[in-house]
Homo-oligomer: A and B are copies of this chain.
Amino acid sequence: MSEQIYKTAGVTVDVVLFTIDEGVLKTLLIKRTNEPFKGLRALPGGFLQKDETSQQAANRILKNKAGVKDIYTEQLYAFDGAKRDPRGQVISITYFALTRKDDVRFEGSDIQTPKFAPVRGLAHLAFDHADIIGYALKRLQSKLEYTNVVYSLLRPKFTLTELQNAYEIILGKRLDKRNFRKKFLSLGLIAATKDYERGGKRRPALLYKFKAVKFSELKKFF
């Protein structure tokens, strides 16, 4: 005797795609073209398809809505509040992802007009998507402190100032330049290249790169 599978609830996957643009942290939002919440902005997402894992669904959504693949993604949380979807019982398995803005391609995307919007001060989003973004932001902030995920937001070669800016933008606070450099260099994650960023009337900045462009987790960090 085998128990059967009960399909009580719908399952969607929604993705919080972060990027840094114009000096602020932004997240990808689409405009809903259907009820419920027609016309409001929402996270890119969709129903889980047959024989698809939620990770695969997240990848599919990122590919379709933003033209990105092979980027850092991580499952966030399964949101299933009773009132979150007016149509009934729908669970959202959420992911967060990180990309550089100029790896994103909206061409070939659908009529939902994807756009990056600053994460701070978002209002009037569909479903519980504002909560989800808030949760994702907290997770991203804490990941910054003990992982190297920031590489996902930077050019392959970057200046230490760019690195520090990424931290400040995400954490929402200023960091001390000398202490930041000392600390980060002592972690051994990055190495100086022989190239310099020559960007105008100022001293050229030495470019660094991550020794491994791969997620890694450290005991201690920031």
In the complex, chain B residues whose CB is within 8 Å of the CB of A53? 80-82
Q: Are B51 and A80 in contact (CB under 8 A)?
A: no
| 8 Å CB contact of A11 from B9, B35, B49, B51 | B9
The residues in A between 15 and 62 inclusive whose CB is less than 8 angstroms from any CB of B are: 34-36, 47-55
User: Interface 1/0s, chain A 134-154, versus B by CB < 8 A?
Assistant: 000000000000000000000
Query: Within the assembled complex, what's the spacing in Å between the Cα atoms of A75 and B48?
Result: 20
Query: Within the assembled complex, what's the spacing in Å between the Cα atoms of A85 and B51?
Result: 12
Interface: A5 (CB within 8 A): yes
Q: Are A6 and B1 in contact (CB under 8 A)?
A: no
Query: Within the assembled complex, what's the spacing in Å between the Cα atoms of A121 and B91?
Result: 33
Given contacts A34-B1, A90-B5, contact A78 B49 (CB under 8 A): no
Interface: A172 (CB within 8 A): no
Give the interface SS of chain A, mostly helix, strand, loop or mixed: loop
Interface: A204 (CB within 8 A): no
Given contacts A11-B8, A91-B11, contact A34 B2 (CB under 8 A): yes
The interface centre, meaning the residue of A1, A5, A54, A55 with most chain B CB atoms within 10 A of its CB, is: A5
Interface: A77 (CB within 8 A): yes
**17 A-B pairs with C-beta separation under 8 A:** A1-B34, A3-B87, A5-B10, A5-B85, A7-B8, A7-B10, A8-B11, A8-B49, A8-B52, A9-B11, A9-B48, A53-B81, A53-B82, A54-B80, A75-B78, A78-B78, A80-B93
Known A54-B91, A91-B93; further 8 A-B contacts with Cβ < 8 A = A5-B47, A7-B8, A8-B11, A8-B52, A11-B91, A50-B89, A53-B80, A80-B93
